[in-house]
Structure 1
Amino acid sequence: MTTDQARPPETSERSSWLPLVCFFFAQVLMSFNVAALPVSIGGMVDDFDVAPTAVSTTIVAYGIAVAALVMLGGKLGQRVGWVKIFRIVVFTFACSSVLMIVSQSVTWAIAGQAVAGASAAFIVPALVALIAENYKGDQQASAVGSLGSARAISGMSAFFLGGALGSLVGWRPVFMIVLVFAVIVFALSFTLRPDTGDRSIDIDVVAAVLIGIAVVLLTVGFNNLNAWGVFFADDAAPFDLVGVSPAPVLIIVGLVIGQAFFLWTRRRQRSGRVPLVDLSVLGSSRERAAVYAMFIVVAMEAALNFTVPLYIQIVQGRSPFDTSLAMIPFNLTVFVTAMLVVRVYKTYSPRIIGTAAFILTTIALVWLAFVVTNNWQTMSTIIGLIVFGIGQGALVTLVFNVLVTSAPKARAGDVGSIRGTTQNLASAVGTATIGALLVSILGFAVASSVASHPELPDDLVSQVDLDNVNFVSNDGLRETLSTQTTASPQQIDAAIEVNEDSRLSTLKYGLLILAGISATAIIPASRLPGYRKGEIPEG
């Protein structure tokens, strides 16, 4: 869909900002919940006695639920009414936080995040539709920017509060804050103008099933690349296909079903029937470039937000508060940039801003790969996180604004659905993929270092399962070697040294991989709109 469609003329009348307060806190609710999960890794690992990768499944479960249901949520919102559906799902989101607070096992936590994700699947398109309904022109751009800044400030506050509470009390009180946000949003929802919805809207059940299955298969496949095997099936795989791991098979089948969804939707549109999501909002290369850019930027953010807490809490054995301090430069920069980037829309086009932002994120990740050490508070590391945050903050607001402003108000729900599917699939895939990559790289690094280390003989190595290497703290490794092997104190010290060196090199390789992913988006970003705000759009 191009941006040169006929639209009603904008008026100079300014709308009240009160509805935006509700929208802002609703975005804070979702983003705070997601940001609270990585900082809670250490506490949940200790409470539930599981591996960090098992805890990361809570993040993936949230992403799966949102991405699989958001298109259905968009259509149900149009049919039932955005305000009514909004109130219902904010209530269910509150229930999910209660489930997190009383969790007795990691399974409870995964279920709680699945409920939260299902609720967010309705909130995401509702926010876009309600913004389009309440604001126009400059106010609409500012409202969209506020959602980007809400994501950033939620991340910053979740890391800070979660870190402080996690160190002093535990991880559960963090989700009490989520519950408080849900109550606030529910109360503010009564300030919104009620709507009746459109009962005549037909919901495409076939498309909903296709996209739901595709998203689940893709995310489960990516999430289990490490546990089940990247290609050949490991012992933990539930089944295999002639020795092949089910993880890549699920990814391929998910891609095929995803293509079937697009074919079915286009066929339905050609026949004049209402589709689950109107693909005309992706009718031009500019909108498709925006979606691709959104996927990459969210995947990178999710990967970094998982990697840094994993490394600080599990690898270094430091507190959640240390994690929050390490992430403050990044989250604060994202927040400030997301707020201020809308001010340069009249000077620079989305194409220039997007390209420059991806160049910044690529340079920052390469820089971090070379300068990162076991101390995250070094000036060189902080500079890298700040530069990455500038690029990330600009992109978060930019690509969303391109999609919202390119579509008429009647298609705002479809834009919200595409945004929700893209962001949450990217978040789940980013978290799952970086986890699998880091563990795989760690396994190769440890095996290589052990084989060449003179103080680690073969008979000792045979007592350790190197085929099941995972991230572990020095204290945890020392305890395991002391109680479960015949290692001498000198050999344990040598193993600790190998562990430290391998983990740091793994982190560096992981950052370089993220830099490569960021670089792949530079050229597509050149397809973003080339006109500045107020200029005549390209045809």
Structure 2
Amino acid sequence: MSVGQTTSTVVERTSWIPMVGLFLAQILMSFNVSALPVSLGGMVADFGVPPTSVSTAIVTYGLVVAALVMVGAKLGQRIGWIIMFRIVVALFAVSALLMILAQTVTWVIVAQAFAGASAAIIVPSLVALIAENYRGAQQATAIGSLGSARALAGVSAFLVGGTLATFVGWRPVFGIVLALAVAVFLFSFRLRSDAGDPEVKIDLVAAVLIGGGIVALTLGFNNLNGWGLFQAEAAAPFDVLGLSPAPLLIVLGLVLGQAFLLWTSRRTAVGRVPLVSLAVLGSVRERAAVYAMFIVVSLEAALNFTVPLYIQIVQGRTAFDTSLAMMPFNLTVFVTATLVVRLYSRFRPRTIGMVGFGLTTIALLWLAFVVTNDWETLPTILGLFVFGVGQGALVTLVFNVLVTASPKELAGDVGSIRGTTQNLASAVGTAVAGALLVTILGVNVGAAVAERVELPPELVSQVDLDSVNFVSNEQLRTALEETTDATPEQVDAAVDVNTQARLSALKLGLLAMAAVSALAILPASRLPGYRPHEVPDPSPSRSR
């Protein structure tokens, strides 16, 4: 079937009940991730650790998913999607129990590692099971529902989770995760799936290359601030001729990623089964979709980390306040992700993609100029609303492009590409946002301290004001008042420096995010120029 042709085949409609289980599985994973920033303040208070330690748990989840999802796809093909799906959903329930019973932040990190290992198989399972249970328009709707499920999970986590974390505690939030895992397990018995193929082989060399590359990239980005951007800091585990290991790990990750692509290409060329079929990225359109997906998920992760950081840690407000502040964004993402599918018959993916990134760029620029220390002002809500429209449309769109451009037998590979991209992007977005904001904050405070004559070096050294992280004004005021020689004027001056430096860091961070969003319009311009009903036949022969 060529471009411009429409299909006249009548596709038998299938019950939506099996899709309920897949929809809840996506909510399960997304709710778990969204619940972590909501629970940030409670975990910091319970475990007595800085917020960056809790963000390590978020990064750990994304790292494990991204590192193992390609292997997870092959395990699903070899053993059978349904069997593996049920096993890992049960493991996700175990991770929720660990979160509920956690005694230290180490428990939280281990629990999120288990959750990530489970999601590494759930992610490709969702795509494969949709491909096996639904066809035609139902398949497009089912794919679109995964995007809306992510957004719904975000809304639920920030609203329900924020309320529980504020008035009951953060642990019951993960009781919801446990209940969702049980529900998904029960619904899985309504799904049908082909039996596994024991002949499927797992390319261990490729698994080590891509896994090692993702681990190196994530660790490098996550420790740019702590280990040093260029020169090694005292906290760095080692140095190479005085250089920080963080940027070196990033370079190593990029090298291993290239080695993975070369190895996979050569293995495919000699007729051997690769870890993931690069036919999924066989054209510039599919590669553009992956680039666009990485950027939009990175921006979403950065925003989802930044807002709770400022509201709960900087402003010292509750998780419920966080849920209210994020509600315009999450609710808009949910509605847009649900409705954008209806635009596919009228507008080309290229048009939707470029408009989507245009909206996110405008929204971030707007926020950079209007944001204040109060997240509930109308201009701020408007900026979050516009960003949510663009983000919701983009996440669903780029995923749909990948699925519709590939044949059913490559559904697992599409799922693994999606999982690797989204979770690596989430980990990198969170890590870079934290490193960028803390770096800007440190520069701002250092410059402000040098200009304020009422803050003598002796006072600055007593409270480590020149070696800052994100703290609330109340925490800073308490630390200053415990010194023996801080006058009320000096306390007020230090608090003012802290307030202005944080706000400036936030504005510059949003400007940096806007620049990345603007650059993403380029890959969006490479998205397909045809509508879904005009899509060429995605058969294996097209890539030969």
TM tier, smaller:
over 0.9
Q: Distance in 2 between matches of 1:37 and 1:257?
A: 30
Residue 329 of structure 2 corresponds to 330
Letter in 2 for 1:74: A
DSSP-derived class of the 1:407 partner: coil
Please list the CA deviations of residues 412-444 of structure 1 after superposition, one character each: whole Å capped at 9, or x if unmatched. Answer: 000000000000000000000000000000000
Partner of 2:533, secondary structure, is: coil
Q: Give me the whole-angstrom Cα distance separating, in 2, the residues matched to 1:506 and 1:446.
A: 10
1:115 pairs with 2:121: no
Where in structure 2 are the equivalents of 1:4-19 lying within 5 Å? 10-19=9-18
- Alpha-carbon distance change, 42 to 232 in structure 1, aligned in 2, over 3 angstroms: same
SS in 1 for 2:32: helix
For 2:80, the equivalent position in structure 1 comes to: 81
**Does 2:342 match 1:346?**
no
Deviations along 1:244-295, whole A, 9 cap, x unmatched?
0010111111111111111110010001000000001101000000000000
Mapping of 1:436-447 within 5 angstroms?
A: 436-447=435-446
* Residue in structure 2 matched with residue 500 of structure 1 by the alignment: 499
2:154 paired residue number = 155
State the identity %: 68
- Between Structure 1 and Structure 2, how many residues are aligned? 538
Q: For structure 1, which runs of at least 5 residues remain unmatched after alignment?
A: none
Q: Residue 10 of structure 1 contacts residue 136 of structure 1 at CA under 8 Å; is this kept in 2? A: no
Q: Residue type of the partner of 1:221?
A: G
- Unaligned runs of at least 5 residues, structure 2: none
Contact between 1:62 and 1:113, CA under 8 Å: does it hold in 2? yes
- The equivalent of 1:234 in structure 2 is 233
2:315 equivalent to 1:316: yes
Equivalent pair of 2:133/2:193 in contact (CA under 8 Å): no
- 1:142 maps to 141
Equivalences for residues 215-230 of structure 1 within 5 A = 215-230=214-229
Cα distance in 1, alignment partners of residues 321 and 54 from structure 2: 19
| Mapped partners of 1:426, 1:6: distance in 2 | 36
Runs of at least 4 residues off by over 4 Å? 2-10, 536-539
Relative distance call for 1:256 and 1:9 in structure 2 (3 A) is farther
Deviation at 1:468, TM superposition (A): 2.8
How far apart in 2 are the matches of 1:102 and 1:198?
38
Instruction: Using the TM superposition, give the Cα deviation of residue 8 of structure 1 relative to its aligned residue in structure 2, in angstroms.
Output: 9.9
Q: What SS does the aligned partner of 1:235 have?
A: coil
1:61 is aligned to 60
Q: In the alignment, is the contact (CA less than 8 A) between 1:460 and 1:485 conserved in 2?
A: no
Report the alpha carbon displacement of residue 199 of structure 1 after superposing the two structures with TM. Answer: 0.5
1:363 partner letter = I
- Per-residue CA shift, 1:17-52, capped at 9, x if unaligned? 111101100000000000000111101110111111
Cα distance in 1 between the residues matched to 2:517 and 2:22: 30
Residue identity opposite 2:138 in structure 1 = Q
CA RMSD of aligned residues (A): 1.7
Q: 1:536 to 1:101 in 2, by over 3 A?
A: closer
Are the counterparts in 1 of residues 405 and 535 from structure 2 also a CA contact under 8 Å?
no
Distance 1:198 1:529 in 2: 33
Give, in angstroms, the shift of residue 462 of structure 1.
2.9
Judge which range, 460-469 or 10-19, deviates more: 460-469
1:387-412 deviations in whole A, cap 9, x for unaligned? 00000000010000000000000000
Tell me: CA distance 1:187–1:5, structure 2 relative to 1, closer, same or farther (3 Å).
farther
Superposition pairs of residues 105-504 of structure 1, within 5 angstroms: 105-466=104-465, 468-484=467-483, 486-504=485-503
Q: Is the 2:133–2:192 Cα contact (8 Å) retained in structure 1? A: no
Contact 1:29 1:178 in 2 (8 A): yes
8 A contact 2:151–2:330 mirrored in 1: yes
1:11 alignment partner, SS class? coil
| SS state at 2:482 partner | helix
**What is the alpha-carbon distance in structure 1 between the residues aligned to residue 237 and residue 532 of structure 2?**
53
Distance 2:507 2:358 in 1: 19
Aligned-residue offset at 1:465: 2.5
Counterpart-to-counterpart distance in 2, 1:67 and 1:221: 15
CA contact (8 A) 2:144 2:337 kept: yes
- Structure 1 position 459, deviation (Å): 2.3
The change in CA–CA distance for 1:92 and 1:3 in structure 2 (over 3 A counts) is farther
Q: 1:175 to 1:264 in 2, by over 3 A?
A: same
What amino acid is the match of 1:109? V
Partner Cα distance (1:10, 1:139) in 2: 13
Q: Which amino acid aligns with 2:74?
A: K
1:11 shift after superposition: 3.0
State the one-letter code of the partner of 1:411. Answer: L
Q: Is the 8 A contact 2:454 2:493 kept in 1?
A: yes
Distance of aligned partners of 1:464 and 1:536 in 2 relative to their CA distance in 1, 3 Å threshold: closer
2:229 aligned counterpart, secondary structure: coil
Q: How does 1:20-59 map to 2 (within 5 A)?
A: 20-59=19-58
SS in 1 for 2:486: coil
Confirm or deny: 8 A CA contact 1:3 1:407 kept in the other structure.
no
1:515 equivalent in structure 2: 514
Alpha-carbon spacing, 1:366–1:488, altered in 2? closer, same or farther (3 Å): same
How far is the alpha carbon of 1:5 from its aligned partner?
Answer: 13
How far off is 1:460 after superposition? 1.5
Contact kept? 1:3, 1:406, Cα under 8 Å: no
Q: Distance in 2 between matches of 1:85 and 1:533?
A: 31
Q: Retained in 2: the 8 A contact 1:84–1:194?
A: no
Structure 2 Cα separation of the partners of residues 418 and 393 of structure 1: 19
Give the letter for the 1:489 counterpart.
P
- Against the structure 1 CA distance between its residues 467 and 209, is the aligned structure 2 distance closer, same or farther, given a 3 Å change threshold? farther
Displacement of 1:482 in angstroms is: 1.8
Partner amino acid, structure 1, of 2:164: L
Q: C-alpha separation between the residues in 1 aligned to 2:86 and 2:165?
A: 30
SS of equivalent residue, structure 2 residue 470: coil
CA distance in 2, matches of 1:404, 1:163: 34
Match of 1:525 in 2: 524
Alpha-carbon contact 1:101-1:173 (below 8 Å) kept? yes
Q: How far apart, CA to CA, are the structure 2 residues paired with 1:347 and 1:63?
A: 35
Distance 1:317 1:82 in 2: 45
Structure 1, 482-491 or 48-57: larger mean CA deviation: 482-491
CA distance in 1, matches of 2:502, 2:196: 54
Partners of 2:85 and 2:175 in 1: CA distance: 21
- SS of the aligned residue for 1:468 comes to coil
2-side partners of 1:255 and 1:6: how far apart? 41
Residue 488 of structure 1 and its aligned partner are, at CA, apart by 1.4
TM-score (norm 2): 0.97
* Counterpart code for 2:135: K
**Conserved? CA contact 2:27–2:150, under 8 Å:** yes
Query: Residue 315 of structure 2 contacts residue 472 of structure 2 at CA under 8 Å; is this kept in 1?
Result: yes
